[in-house]
Structure formats: C-alpha cells, structure tokens
Amino acid sequence: MVQARVGFQEERFSPVVIRFCWACFVLLHVAGLVYYGFTAWCYWNLPDTHLDAWLTLYYLGMETQYDRTIAMFMGTVAIIHGLYLVWMISWSFKKRQLVFAIYNVFRLPSFLLRFLPARKGSRSVHPKGISNDVYRAFFTRDGLLGVDGPYFDMILFIREVVETALQTHQAYRMSLLLPRIAINRCYVALLVINCWAIALVHNMFHENSTKRRVWSLISDCVLDTVTSIGISTVLLISYINDFNFERNGFPVQKWYEDEWVVQALSEFQMILVTSWRDLFTRLIFAVSLFGDMDNMKMAMRAKRAKRTSITTGKSRGNRATMIAPYSGNGPNANLVQKNRAKHLLFKVSQFVFFVWGITILTLHLYAESIQQYPQCWMKVRPWFTGQPSCSLLVLDCHEKHLRGTKREVTEQWIGFDPESVTRTVVRHCPALELPEVLTAFSRLNAIKMYNTTIASWDSNAALTQTNQTSLMTLFLIRVNFSLGELPAGLQSPDFPQSLGDIEICITNLRSFPDDIDMKWPRFGSIYIEASQLHEVPASLVRLAPFDLSLSMNPISVLPPQLFEEESVAYLSFGGTLITQLPENVTKLSSSLGDLNLSYNNLSFLWSWIDPIIDHEPNTPLSLAGTPYCRDLERIFTGEQTNFLSIPPLSQNNAEMSIFADASVGNWATLKKSVSCAEQDRTWYPIDFEDQYSSIRIVDG
C-alpha cells in the first residue's frame, strides 16, 4: 500500500493579508526607529541640562555618567529598526514584490552547497553533520530554531513564560507608580487577553500549526510593543506641552506644583532607565519584539494555485515530494509516548496561563474597589494591599474646619497605607501638632507646610534617617514657629541624610541651633528667605551648602567663609542690609558661579571677586536695584565716566577690581559679568505658591 502526499498541507495567506501584514511590519519598524532614536537623542543630550539637575536632585534614573551608554543602547536598537525598514522597502521596490526580510532575497550560495556532502540516499541538497545543523538553524524555515522547526513550539512556550513573568512585574510596578487609571487598565487588559489568548489559540488551532503560531506571535508582538514602546510614548507625550526646549527643562514652578511633581516622580520611573536590571529588561523586550516580527515574517506565505497532481521533486526544486512505503509495524511507541507527554505539557501550560490571567484581573479589580478618601489627591492602586494607597496626602485645615491638633491630624492620616505616601502637604492650620503617625510614612520624599502655625513638633514625630530614608525635600512656607525657633522634630540627631533640599520662606525664624551642622546633611540646598535672621549662623556656614539663599533677612554682615567653601556654587543675599562684601576673603571658591546681591546698598566690589568672571560663561553677578547698577547704567549711557564709590586699597585688596574699571575697553567684561535686570526677591517661587496653595472658596 502506498500513501502519497498531494500538494502541501501548510497554511498560506491571501495577498490582501500579506499586504496588510507587510504594512504593519513597516509601521512597527517606523515606530521603533522614531521611539528609540528620539530616546537615544534625549539621553545623549541630557547631561548638564536643567532637566538633568532636577533628575539628579530627586535621584531619578541612573547617574549622569551612564547617560551616553544608555543612548548608545537605544541608538543601536533604533539603527536595527532602520535597517529592517530600509531593507523591506528598497528590496520590495527592486523585486516588485513584497519583501519581508533577508531570507526573502538571499539564500545560501549554491557554490557553497556543492562543497558540502549531501546525506546518503537523499535528493536534498542540505548538507549533513554539523554543517546541516548550522544550515537548518540559520537558513531554513524548518530549521532547529525556525518558525516551522520541531522545537519552535517549545521555544515559543519558554518565551511566553519569561515574557509573561516580566510583563506581570511591569503591571505590578505600574499599579504602584502610575496614578493614571486608564493606562493601568489598558495594560492589564492587554496582559490578561494575552494570557487567555495563549490558551484560546492553542485550543482553536491545535491541528493547524501555522495559524496557531502566527496568532500566538501576534498576541506577543502587540504586548511587547505596548510594553517597550507604547507606555513610555504615551507618558512622554503627556509632558511635551510642559517642557521648555529653550531651557532644556521644565519651568521651575512645575517642580513646586504638588500634583504635577508627584505624578512626574512616579511616571519618570517608568520612562527613564532606572538601573542596569531595568536596562536589561528593556533589552529583553526589544529583542523579543524583533523575534516576534522575524518569526511572523517567516510564517507569511502567499496562497498559490491549488495543485491536485502529485508534485515531483524537480517541480519543487530542493523540496522533493516524499513517497512513504507502507509499514506494518505501526507507530513508534517511544514517539507516541513523547507526543503524549508534549501534549500534556501544553494542556497544563494553557490552563496555567488562563488561571494566571484570571489572577491578574482579580488583583486589579480588587485594588480598584478599595475605598478612597478626598484628602488623597493622587491615588495609586497597588495589588497587594487592603488599605487605600495615596501618593499625595493633603491636609487642608481650612477646608476641613480643623485646627490641626494631633487627634485631628491622626484621623486624617491613619486610614492610608503608610508605605504608599510619598508627599505630604499641610495647609492653613492655625495650631498644627504633628502626630507620631508621621514616622510611619517610610517612603515619604517631600513635606510641604503652607500658611501654618506649628504649635508642636516634638521628638516623637521627628524626621529621622531610621523612619524616612527617602526624604529629599522640606518646604516650610509662610510658617510660624513657636518662639521663632526650629522645632525639636527638625533637630533629631538621626536627621535624614537624604534630605538635601530645605527651603524656608516667609517665617518668623530668628535663631538657628549652634549644633545643627552635626545633624543636618552637608553640601545641600538651604533657603532661609524672608525670615528674621539678623546674622548668618556659624553652624549654617559649617554646613557648607551647595546653594544657599538668605535673601530678605535683616543681615548686615556676611562671613568671609561663605565665599571660600569649595562646595558652594550658588549664593543669594538679595534684599538684605549689607552695604559691602567682606573685605578679607582669602580665595574665592572656584565652584561659585552665581552670586545674587540685588536690592542691597552695594556701591562697589572688592578685587577678590574678580575670578568669578572665569567661573561661569553666563552672567555670574546679579546686582539689580543697587547703587552699583545705577552707576553702571549711567556709565553705559555716557552720563558719567566713573563709579561714584571706589573701594579703598588695602593689604588684602592691593589691586583695583575689574568691576571698578569704568573705561570703555572694560565695558564688554562688565556687560558679560553683571546683570542689572529685575530679579525675583526670593529663590523660592512664592508668588506661584501663593496662587497655587491659597484658600479656595467653594461656591454654594
């Protein structure tokens, strides 16, 4: 008895489907080229920008020194997408038919095949031995790793397991970080559909391997595209309108807008590469997307005219028709057993994927069902918690008709998962008493108090490194302190060393602890503006802040050490009572690049300030509203030829300062180094804060 194979039992696709798939592949490569190319460009140009400074302050992304490395990785992926795109389009035009990939154009050269020994008794030109394995693995559809190969289902299964695990972790991270519920819902829906599609496709097309594999690959490709490109693209687009491309950063006010900054700090962790592990995960998704598309391209075969006659090996070229002799021995027992085990494995895997999808959906729906409260202004919905989760917790005593007692504040804060709170804002409290529950907010990164009187902030509720390891910023705006002193809660010996940005503006603070330099972190940013300091505290000088503002304090004398610390880069003493800078500065700090002395009674500068000209390419000195600037403007207009006040020569200042030279030849230096333009009175954006945090009157 003889059985003949009539034609080929392989699934082929109509020309319409082929054209549609080709167009989809082109669009995917265009999307990959644009996204990865744009990301590479951004990372390459990120160092030393305004955005980079803010990202560094909030520890977002990897360190600046790795930006170019990330850019090269992103650029490499973009180049690969570009090469695929050029290849498909150019060869399609050249051959006048749709070309999907390299194997549609080139095959193993025939002159190489002639030198490879063929298998004995076979009409196939495939080489034998190691050469055969290499050839089948890399040059044929039915090779060891090919889409029609014997191990493709197993390879696809392993890929699906790995990718589903990584995508589940991605969905969990999104539930922790992203407050945008629509994005979370869409991604969870795609992940659940993908899990169910794996089971559904295997059941529907268990006898049609081509359709089964193609639909599985399509499902994987869609989710890989959303994971690697889609989410970041949607998030990036939402920030485009806020970005200032001239300054290469967001407006400063945005970083003080509570809702915006909390959302940005969370979502930037999804947009930016945060670690080497994160970069490796992105590499897996990028490579997986290439693999999905390559395998689908291999599976794309156009329908041919039906054949009813037995095809010969000659008409098929190298794919000869096989005539199978009758065998009375029946199927091989080992093969049958192997197929049964394989079938059982895939049945179990389908069930596991289906249950996994149900589990993810259940976790997501349960997280969304948890009750939320109005004092939470930025909600997140992590999977594994039974309490409401809140990134931004706002206590508005005026709105709630509260005074701010410990009991009242505790009632407002106690109902939330403490580990979910990242920013706490307190407004309009006439007698605030900070409760001990504050110490439970272990992931807190910012505290803001506005228009509030702090009646009590004792050591039980103190900020400590033990409890607040992630705390980075503290804003005390329009705040009254008891006795005009820092409360005990800000003087813990275990003060958070991550708290590098302390900004105090418009307060009654009039003294500073002598030992604060033993508690607060050094080299940070400290603003104490529009307060009641009559002198610069020695402990504050010893903290050696990176940038320091004491603007609008009744200070008349500045210690020379402030200008000598090599850690200092920005200083502001605008609106104080100083009439001159200290005379005896030994050596100006080489890192000082911005000195604001506006709205003082300064009429001259000592020669020790001259090196600042070489520190900063932009204007390093701001002297708006000073007698010096009035003289300078009259000199430039020709109304006078010299400065009215000339610094006296002394042992420490034996030479005349460049800033005292009114000659025409020195005008270019003066114009480059001195700004007389109007300045903000404080570095803290108080006008914006007053508008943003003011008492809101609700009609009705």
Give residues with Cβ within 8 angstroms of 282, minimum separation 6: 228, 273
Residue 634 CA to residue 372 CA, distance in Å, equals 63
Run means of pLDDT, 10 residues per run, the chain, 700 residues: 40 74 89 95 93 91 93 95 89 81 52 47 46 54 56 74 88 91 91 83 67 76 87 92 92 95 93 93 89 76 47 43 44 57 69 89 92 89 89 94 94 91 96 95 95 95 94 96 94 94 96 94 95 95 95 96 92 95 91 94 92 83 95 92 79 74 91 93 95 69
Residue 673 CA to residue 320 CA, distance in Å, equals 84
Is residue 600 within 8 A of residue 576, CB to CB? The reply is yes
Closest CA to 572 of 608, 524, 526: 526
- Which whole-number Å values give the CA distances from 479 to 450, 507, 530, 598, in the listed order? 6, 5, 11, 25
Question: For 302, which DSSP code?
Answer: B
Residue 53 CA to residue 64 CA, distance in Å, equals 9
Amino acid identity of residue 79, one-letter, is I
Is residue 13 within 8 A of residue 302, CB to CB? The reply is yes
Query: Cα Rg for the chain, rounded, in angstroms?
Result: 35
Question: For 64, which DSSP code?
Answer: G
Place of tokens 């060869």: 91
**Sign of the CA dihedral running 655, 661, 663, 667:** positive
Residue 444 CA to residue 421 CA, distance in Å, equals 6
Partners of residue 547 on adjacent β-strands: 525, 570
Give residues with Cβ within 8 angstroms of 127, minimum separation 6: 113, 116, 117, 118, 135
Is residue 26 within 8 A of residue 88, CB to CB? The reply is yes
Residue 183 CA to residue 147 CA, distance in Å, equals 33
pLDDT of residue 96: 82
Question: For 50, which DSSP code?
Answer: H
Residue 229 CA to residue 671 CA, distance in Å, equals 48
Place of tokens 């972190």: 521
DSSP characters over 223-273: HHHIIIIIHHHHHHHHHHTT-BTTTTB--GGGGG-HHHHHHHHHHHHHHS-
Is residue 664 packed enough to be buried (19+ CB in 10 Å), middle (13-18) or exposed (0-12)? exposed
Place of tokens 């305004």: 50
Look at residue 208 and give its three-state secondary structure: coil
Residue 145 CA to residue 151 CA, distance in Å, equals 7
Q: Encode pLDDT of 679-699 as tens digits.
A: 999 999 999 999 999 876 544
The percentage of residues in the chain with a pLDDT greater than 90, rounded to a whole number, is 57
pLDDT of residue 6: 37
Residue 455 CA to residue 472 CA, distance in Å, equals 24
Angle formed at CA 670 by CA 668 and CA 674, multiple of 5 degrees: 130
Question: And the tokens for 327?
Answer: 């065998």
pLDDT of residue 300: 65
Is residue 412 within 8 A of residue 432, CB to CB? The reply is no
Residue 153 CA to residue 146 CA, distance in Å, equals 10
Amino acid identity of residue 507, one-letter, is T
Q: Which helix (H) or strand (E) holds 528?
A: strand 525-529
Characterize the bridge pairing of strands 621-622 and 473-481. unpaired
pLDDT of residue 326: 44
Residue 408 CA to residue 435 CA, distance in Å, equals 9
3-state SS, 358-404, equals HHHHHHHHHHHHCCCCCCEEEEECCCCCCCCEEEEEEEEHHHHCCCC
